[in-house]
């Protein structure tokens, strides 16, 4: 079952939006910085893997960023909603 969650990092005024697979790994991630909700990251794990296979990883990450690597069960110091 796919799950969605969001977290807010008050120190940097960044709102994180995550889509998780059934194992709790991030498969899509968006980070918006307040005020104005400037997009900092809008990454997809599948697209990242495709860019890596095609040798375009640096270009992908420079435009879209990357998703969190650890599954949610291993996150420390976050209280996702």
Read off the pLDDT of residues 25-79 as tens digits, 9 standing for 90 and up.
999 999 999 888 889 999 999 999 999 999 999 999 999 998 888 777 777 665 5
Residue 63 lies in a domain: yes
- pLDDT exceeds 80 at position 19: yes
Q: Which domain holds residue 26?
A: 3-67
DSSP class per residue in 36-61:
TTEEEEEEEHHHHHHHHHTT-HHHHH
| pLDDT (0 to 100) of residue 79 | 54
When divided into structural domains, the chain yields a total of 1
| pLDDT (0 to 100) of residue 21 | 92
Residue 75 lies in a domain: no
| pLDDT (0 to 100) of residue 78 | 55
Average pLDDT over residues 17-23: 92
| pLDDT (0 to 100) of residue 72 | 78
């Amino acid at each position: 079952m796919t799950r969605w969650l969001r977290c807010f990092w008050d120190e940097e005024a960044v709102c994180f939006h995550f889509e998780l697979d059934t194992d709790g790994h991030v498969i899509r991630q968006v980070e918006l910085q307040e005020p104005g909700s400037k997009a900092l990251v809008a990454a997809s794990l599948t697209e990242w893997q495709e860019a890596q296979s095609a040798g375009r990883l640096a270009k992908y990450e420079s435009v879209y960023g990357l998703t969190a690597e650890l599954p949610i069960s291993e996150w420390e110091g976050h209280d996702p909603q």
